[in-house]
Structure 1
Amino acid sequence: MKNLNKYLDVAREVEKALEAGKPVVALESTIISHGMPYPQNVETALQVEKIIRDHGAVPATIAIIKGRLKVGISPEEIDYLGKKGLDVIKASRRDVPVLVAAKEDGATTVATTMILAAMAGVKVFATGGIGGVHRGAEVTMDISADLEELGMTPVMVVCAGAKSILDLGLTLEYLETKGVPVIGYQTKMLPAFYTRDSAFKVDYRMDTPKEIADAWVAKLELDLKGGMLVTNPIPEEYAMDSAYINKCIEEAVEEAKEKGIKGKETTPFLLAKIKDITGGESLDANIQLVFNNAKLAAQIACEMCK
């Protein structure tokens, strides 16, 4: 890519790790601005970075700040995004050039985090859950850009499955069409974010971080287009009852329809509504599954570097 330094800032710690062939794990920033209230969002983001360090890798939280594409931001910048909250633009691929030109702030979605990670040479990324095909997409055509990005950008995404507010069956079909391998970590069932499994199966089960790292390195060395999705079930002690959470999701989806909420506003609305309905239990689960994914992503990144 020509003249990337004109737009891209890679934190010195991240740059040094990449140059030395050390493990780096990318992290998104939408979870900071749109995922939970302040100061819980900042505390969670800093704890996720600590977990990655504790497991031998370097964290690279990604964001757009005053028009600069940032791969690795400081605790002060995390606090800035956390305080600004919903006033930060939720930035997907289409938003990047506009935010850069206007010198605006952007919290990166899964898709944009993948793009910026790939620009810097970071190959592993930990998040909560990916976006996917929304319920009723056969009418609305509401399909997350995360799926398109997984089909073309060479970054592995470690998540707790697709968010259970989505149509999980259609999301898997879409990923298959795009040629994205879906790996279940120690499971053959697709985790559904708040719950450890769903009615759907993943492509492959792998039981160790090394197995996953080997498959990912093979994909990169074969120069096969696109990413890889690793689905890591929420720890059992934090998993929610599937019948209960599905009832809460249906209630939230119905309210979103009544209020005419669409597009990029849908997911933040649904997650906030589900948090209210569950009395905060869903937010606690969300935080724990992110911690769990950060740990696995760091372990995979370390195996890749061996």
Structure 2
Amino acid sequence: MACRISVISRHISSPPLEHLDDLGVRVAPEVRSALSSGVGVVALESTIVSHGMPYPQNFHTAQEVESIVRANGAVPATIAILDGVPCIGLSLAELERLAKLGTMVSKTARRDIPYVIARRGNGATTVSATMFFASKAGIKVFVTGGIGGVHRQGESKLGKTPVAVVCAGVKSILDIPRTLEYLETQGVTVVSYSTDEFPAFFTPNSGCKAPCRADSVEECADIIEANTKLGLGSGILIGVPIPAEHAAAAKNVESAIQSALHEAESRGIAGNSVTPFLLKRVNELTGGDSLAANIQLVKNNALVGAKIATALTTRLSRFTKSS
């Protein structure tokens, strides 16, 4: 039976931003102002910009995602490392630079952060690295496309980073049941948004029942707040199914995935090169349907994530005024 959670709102304070200045992390003025004044902030990864699709489509999509966040009451904070400086929030020029550089930018997971900084390089942050910097800044909501599976890094960081990740579920190119089991062992709260079934990235259905269900952004905000108040120290995964009208045909996607997996194995593609190869190959095999679905699901996640961030800060503001 899906669990439901409701808690009384309590004030959750963000850490002072001076510690980030001391660490050499640059916080964009808009993001700094939002964090200081209690406006909702949504963290966004940058790997999807540099490695997710070609220029200029990646730049236009990134702009649209940031616009959706703003239109729903929150401030976007795209996270990346530029010339060795971790940046929480990018200017339009910086976003376009990242998009133009594309795959020349290092795909940067949490483990790679020291190396990229030491070499004064450019790094596009993955789920794990984005979560790390978001947590450091006190950003509690992070929007992405989908997380990796049991052989990736993103899901393991959910067990020790108190950030809510809003995504379209586990990428359907991976082992979803095993990933959900692994998340359970890591103490990660897994929630499906307005559905009992955990979504599978390109499609709304995975065949896996979600441990918990939330039917509104307010319920999601309650869960995030309860997690923070109790100091569990773990993250929350909120799976938002791609809207049905934008979902690629599940059968065609699954067929393309199996073909791409066999091709990757035969070519000896391994490590963090697997997912980019599979996504690219699946897009080719589906005639562009999977990329179109990817763009739509990220936009939908941004809309839901922004509303969750706004709901969280709204209730905290009300509590502060009444206390």
TM-score using structure 2 length: 0.90
CA distance in 2, matches of 1:98, 1:7: 15
Query: 1:216-265 CA deviation, whole Å, 9 max, x = no partner?
Result: 10110100021000000001101122121100000001100011000100
CA distance in 1, matches of 2:184, 2:294: 26
User: Is the CA contact 2:191–2:210 (under 8 Å) kept in the aligned structure 1?
Assistant: yes
1:52 matched to 2:46? The reply is no
1:178 to 146, 162, 186: 186
2:118 to 71, 92, 101: 101
1:202 to 210, 213, 217: 210
1:111 matched to 2:128? The reply is yes
CA distance in 1, matches of 2:269, 2:42: 33
Tell me the equivalent position of 2:174. 166
CA distance in 2, matches of 1:115, 1:242: 33
Tell me the equivalent position of 2:103. 86
Tell me the equivalent position of 1:236. 244
1:277 partner letter: L
CA distance in 2, matches of 1:58, 1:188: 30
The CA deviation at 1:7 is 2.0
2:264 partner letter: A
1:9 to 22, 26, 29: 26
2:64 partner letter: Q
User: Is the CA contact 1:130–1:161 (under 8 Å) kept in the aligned structure 2?
Assistant: yes
2:302 partner letter: A
Tell me the equivalent position of 1:257. 265
1:267 matched to 2:253? The reply is no
CA distance in 1, matches of 2:65, 2:19: 32
SS across alignment from 1:25: strand
Tell me the equivalent position of 1:224. 232
1:19 matched to 2:27? The reply is no
1:111 partner letter: S
The CA deviation at 1:75 is 1.1
SS across alignment from 2:207: coil
TM-score using structure 1 length: 0.95
> What is the percentage of aligned positions where both structures have the same residue?
51
Tell me the equivalent position of 2:158. 150
Gap runs ≥5 in structure 2: 1-14, 315-323
1:37 partner letter: P
Query: 1:2-48 CA deviation, whole Å, 9 max, x = no partner?
Result: 96424200111101101111100000000001000110000000000
2:48 partner letter: I
CA distance in 1, matches of 2:165, 2:108: 18
For these two proteins, the number of residue pairs brought into alignment is: 297
Distance change in 2, residues 1:16/1:4 (3 Å):
closer
SS across alignment from 1:291: helix
CA distance in 2, matches of 1:7, 1:280: 40
User: Is the CA contact 2:20–2:26 (under 8 Å) kept in the aligned structure 1?
Assistant: no
Displaced runs of 4 or more, over 4 A: none
Distance change in 2, residues 1:176/1:75 (3 Å):
same
SS across alignment from 2:148: coil
Gap runs ≥5 in structure 1: 134-142
1:293 matched to 2:301? The reply is yes
2:124 partner letter: A
2:48 to 15, 31, 40: 31
User: Is the CA contact 1:7–1:100 (under 8 Å) kept in the aligned structure 2?
Assistant: no
The CA RMSD measured in Å over matched residues stands at: 1.1
Distance change in 2, residues 1:179/1:257 (3 Å):
same
